[in-house]
Amino acid sequence: MAITVGSLFTFIIVMLACGLLVWLAFYVVEQFQPPEPVGRIIRVVVVVIAVLVIVALLLNFAGVGPGVRISTLYAPWLSA
């Protein structure tokens, strides 16, 4: 199984976008400072969603994914 340039490009873009969204969510939580249990719950939910997206992306990248094409969610022109 060969890794194509398009799939590598998709992997890098999704990783950067996921990292940026996690950083932005943490920044917003820090700025608004919700009560402590709520802030901690928000952080945990953000991390869990980010990990699930990254795992799904890695499974698709390896070719054994659940069939969800993440690239079609944010960039339909990348899917063939």
Distance CA 62, CA 39 (A): 35
Tens of pLDDT, residues 44-70: 999 998 888 888 778 777 777 666 665
- With a pLDDT cut of 70, the percent of the chain lying above it is 76
> Mean pLDDT, the chain, as a whole number?
80
DSSP 8-state symbol, 67: S
State the total domains in the chain.
Answer: 1
Rg of the chain taking only CA atoms, in angstroms: 15
Give the pLDDT band (50/70/90) at residue 41: very high
**Interval 3-13 mean pLDDT:** 79
Range(s) of the domain holding residue 52: 5-78
